[in-house]
Structure 1
Amino acid sequence: MTMPTPYRRLLMSAALAAGLSGSAAWAEDAAPGITDTSIKIGVSGALTGPVAALGAVDEGIRTKVEAVNAAGGVKMGDGKTRKIELVIDDDALDPQRTLTNVRKMVESDQVFALLGIAGTPNNEAIGRYVDKHGVPNLFMYSGIHELKSGKKWIIGLAPSFTTEAAVFAGYLKATKPDAKVGLLFLNTETGLTFQAGLKAELESSTVQLVSEQPVTATDPTIDTQLSNLKASGADTLVVIAPPKQGAQAVKFAAESGWHPVTMLSYIASSVYALMPAGLDNAKGVLTSQYIKPIDLPAYAGDAGVKRYVADHDAVKPRFETGDALGQMGYLTGEALVKVLEVMKEPSRGAMMEAARQLSNVELDLLLPGITLTTKGADDIYPIESLQLFQFDGAKYQPVGNVLSYEGKTPKS
């Protein structure tokens, strides 16, 4: 029997309405910023201002992403190949600007996730927001991993500052057990965490912490703090500060006639960051590192280094190949790719699950023997190994072997 036309139209309209309703429900449930062919990622970083050197991290991310996109994109865990669309905004390392940028990225730009945001205060500033909106804050550039807010949706990448403090303390206890240490520290959670870690590691030793001087990222000069450290009788200078203040400390230590043993945190140890101090003045500086020093002959034929150099040549970013901050950004971009490759489904929850269950993941620029491993809440630190290097006036040379704190990163 043929159905009367009015009834056919009524059923067709109902079916169409149901289909539209189903599509709308799917759209509400699906995370924004991802299609079958692309995924949108937001980066907020210091492109201008007193710590604009950190902008090399963002440029490093862009270098890796553009190289991956040029090769066709990333084949993700759901079997679909997508290109990565980056949204990069400047915050000059101002936490309030970081929050403003992130709100714009999430609400207007509709990013799927955030990546490589630098600065402990900056990541603290966006913690509640990313928790509320369920946005992954992936591989932030900070050695503080135990933030007060945003815990559910955040993960770091660089080693904890407590691990670096332990490596520095171990070196002094072994080679200079009667050292008198002067500490120059950034007066934020970054420096305070390192300070607490260093004190804990030196507590039962004969190494003395004789003076501690705070700095801020906006201090134009730090001569007063350094003069106080010198006057304390310290024969060892430990610095956990931004690149500008790190270079100032190295220059002062050399040119004031002080000449202490100088240990510089990895956040300020790039050869390019040291140039304002004069590379001759930096001779002998010790630092910790987890990135391959690509200019050493030992890495001339390294496959990962060759890929990095080729990508750098192709993209032509605004940093030199040997810039450790640019290299850190490149690592961050590659770590993102590794997570995308194993995500079980194109959802924000699946991204965080993948980032929290990494197992011995190799990256092109990580030192041999250092990989990414996480185990959910039991191990939130992707990189837990470091190696000491000493600057010879032109390059960093390795000191000893890689020191592993896998599964035992000191708590802050």
Structure 2
Amino acid sequence: MSPNRPVVALAAIGLLAAAGATFAQGEAGQYDPGVTDTSIKIGNIMPYSGPASAYGVIGTAEAAYFREINDNGGVNGRKINFISYDDSYSPPKTVEQARKLVEDDEALLIFNSLGTPTNTAIQKYMNLKKVPQLFVATGATKWNDPKEFPWTMGWQPSYQTEAHIYAKYILQNKPDAKIAVLYQNDDYGKDYLKGLEDGLGAKANLIVAKQSYDVNEPTIDSEMVNLRASGANVFVDIATPKFAAQSITKANELNWHPLFILNNVSSSVGGVIKPAGFDKAQGIISAAYLKDPTDPQWKDDPEMKLWTAFMDKYLPNADKSDANNVYAYAVARTMVQVLRHCGDDLSRDNVMKHAANLRDYDPGLLLPGIKVNTSPTEFAPIQQLQLMRFKGQTWERFGTVQSGKIGS
């Protein structure tokens, strides 16, 4: 698939007539590029191909959700025109696609583009252009920096927050820990690693082995052999889905059975655990902030029923066990909530203003006790998670919802 080809595009009524408009003061309100009386153009960049292609389902599900919104009248009477391009998880391609969306397609904003290294590559450009880089699909801590980067905002809990929670769990439950860490050799992996080391504090020397891998490597077999040889009895797996599934399989092949902690971004049952093998994943620890579609506890949950009905109608052939579909639905709902609050003032300034003023918002699929909150000085919308353990064919949550602050 060509990276210059739109993977998903939802045509909005009246779009062609307004294709040349860069700024307009319509009767209904103030518009910046990408907006007309009948449409709102939203850009997106996803790894539909390449080493992180398992995340491509997020873009597909977001397009489906916006299609549902359009079928029900749009947002304040405007249809969403969602344009999503493939960057293959390659930062240079991300730059190319961001420029295309901003300068050629004239999107109002770029929403939920995926990846830490890829979003890092366009962060300065987006802020220079004063175009919202909103609810990026990465938990890097750097997205919460409204002073330096007022046009960039995250959505999910930060990687360091999550890693602090794992550190607390290890310190409380494995006093004799010898920790081995596999991490992706980029900003994503290093952010998690820093969070783990900071969370361990004075006991960071419990980490006895660290192995990094590059996303272009075919396997992480040699890294796993080295980590096992370290004698570690705790394994912290900071990997994207392809490599997370490989590490689960390889640990089993090596007959290595440490306390296994897997980062949230690779905890999807359908996207990671099932391909690796349910039998190989028993007892793995992770953390969650969203409801798991494989958990029977949510069978009669009203919001999960709405999600299931959405999936049945708009993505009938999709894998409901893939948590990325839940993520896409929840973050897209948050985007729509912001646009609704903007009313007829669809300037980029106003979009960021309302994105930075979400109060106890629940997009419907967050775990009980977790809400979206932002302010002009707080660009980290979700800051809590709950630990969970894999058992049978699903995750079982345990303990309380907690933040990643040491001592909390």
For normalisation by structure 1, the TM-score amounts to 0.87
Q: What corresponds to 1:247 in structure 2?
A: 245
- Give the Cα separation in 2 of the matches to 1:181 and 1:349: 46
Give the 5 Å matches for 1:93-132. Answer: 93-132=89-128
In structure 2, the gaps of 5 or more residues are 1-21
Q: What corresponds to 1:224 in structure 2?
A: 222
Structure ID, larger Rg? 1
Q: What corresponds to 2:402 in structure 1?
A: 403
- Give the Cα separation in 2 of the matches to 1:67 and 1:401: 34
Amino acid paired to 1:191:
G
Secondary structure class of the residue paired with 1:257 = coil
Q: What corresponds to 1:277 in structure 2?
A: 276
Q: Which range moved further: 142-151 or 56-65?
A: 142-151
Amino acid paired to 1:174:
Q
Q: What corresponds to 1:372 in structure 2?
A: 372
Q: 1:165 aligns with which of 157, 163, 166?
A: 163
Q: What corresponds to 2:354 in structure 1?
A: 354
Q: Is the 1:95–1:121 contact (alpha carbons within 8 Å) kept by the matching residues of 2?
A: yes
Count of aligned pairs: 379
**Residue 207 of structure 1: how far off its partner (Å):** 7.5
CA displacement 1:8-52 (0-9 Å, x = unmatched): xxxxxxxxxxxxxxx98859x841111122101001101112221
Q: What corresponds to 1:143 in structure 2?
A: 139
Q: Is the 1:177–1:206 contact (alpha carbons within 8 Å) kept by the matching residues of 2?
A: no
Q: Is the 2:386–2:397 contact (alpha carbons within 8 Å) kept by the matching residues of 1?
A: yes
Q: What corresponds to 2:257 in structure 1?
A: 259
Q: What corresponds to 1:312 in structure 2?
A: 311
Q: What corresponds to 1:13 in structure 2?
A: none
- Give the Cα separation in 2 of the matches to 1:221 and 1:338: 41
Q: What corresponds to 2:48 in structure 1?
A: 47
Amino acid paired to 1:88:
S
Amino acid paired to 1:171:
Y
Secondary structure class of the residue paired with 1:351 = helix
- Give the Cα separation in 2 of the matches to 1:248 and 1:293: 22
Identity of aligned residues (%): 35
- Give the Cα separation in 1 of the matches to 2:124 and 2:233: 43
Q: What corresponds to 1:88 in structure 2?
A: 84
- Give the Cα separation in 2 of the matches to 1:25 and 1:163: 42
Q: 1:213 aligns with which of 211, 214, 231?
A: 211
- Give the Cα separation in 2 of the matches to 1:319 and 1:389: 25
CA RMSD of aligned residues (A): 2.1
Q: Is the 1:60–1:317 contact (alpha carbons within 8 Å) kept by the matching residues of 2?
A: no
Q: Is the 2:166–2:261 contact (alpha carbons within 8 Å) kept by the matching residues of 1?
A: yes
Q: Which range moved further: 329-338 or 29-38?
A: 29-38
Q: What corresponds to 2:380 in structure 1?
A: 381
Give the 5 Å matches for 1:68-79. Answer: 68-75=69-76
Q: Is the 1:63–1:317 contact (alpha carbons within 8 Å) kept by the matching residues of 2?
A: no
- Give the Cα separation in 2 of the matches to 1:234 and 1:214: 16
Q: What corresponds to 2:64 in structure 1?
A: 63
Q: What corresponds to 1:303 in structure 2?
A: 302
Q: Is the 2:23–2:33 contact (alpha carbons within 8 Å) kept by the matching residues of 1?
A: no
Distance change >3 Å, CA 301–CA 348, structure 1 → 2: same
**Residue 348 of structure 1: how far off its partner (Å):** 0.4
Secondary structure class of the residue paired with 2:210 = strand
Q: Is the 2:180–2:235 contact (alpha carbons within 8 Å) kept by the matching residues of 1?
A: yes
- Give the Cα separation in 1 of the matches to 2:193 and 2:94: 26
**Residue 318 of structure 1: how far off its partner (Å):** 6.2
- Give the Cα separation in 2 of the matches to 1:376 and 1:110: 26
- Give the Cα separation in 1 of the matches to 2:111 and 2:233: 40
Q: Which range moved further: 272-281 or 167-176?
A: 272-281
- Give the Cα separation in 2 of the matches to 1:402 and 1:52: 30
Amino acid paired to 2:283:
G
**Residue 356 of structure 1: how far off its partner (Å):** 1.1
Amino acid paired to 1:106:
V
Q: What corresponds to 1:11 in structure 2?
A: none
**Residue 325 of structure 1: how far off its partner (Å):** 1.6
- Give the Cα separation in 2 of the matches to 1:70 and 1:107: 28
Q: What corresponds to 1:193 in structure 2?
A: 191
CA displacement 1:345-384 (0-9 Å, x = unmatched): 211001011111111001121111111001222x221000
Q: Is the 2:40–2:78 contact (alpha carbons within 8 Å) kept by the matching residues of 1?
A: yes
- Give the Cα separation in 1 of the matches to 2:235 and 2:24: 60
- Give the Cα separation in 1 of the matches to 2:138 and 2:51: 18
- Give the Cα separation in 2 of the matches to 1:340 and 1:30: 12
Q: What corresponds to 2:363 in structure 1?
A: 363
- Runs of 4+ aligned structure 1 residues displaced above 6 Å come to none
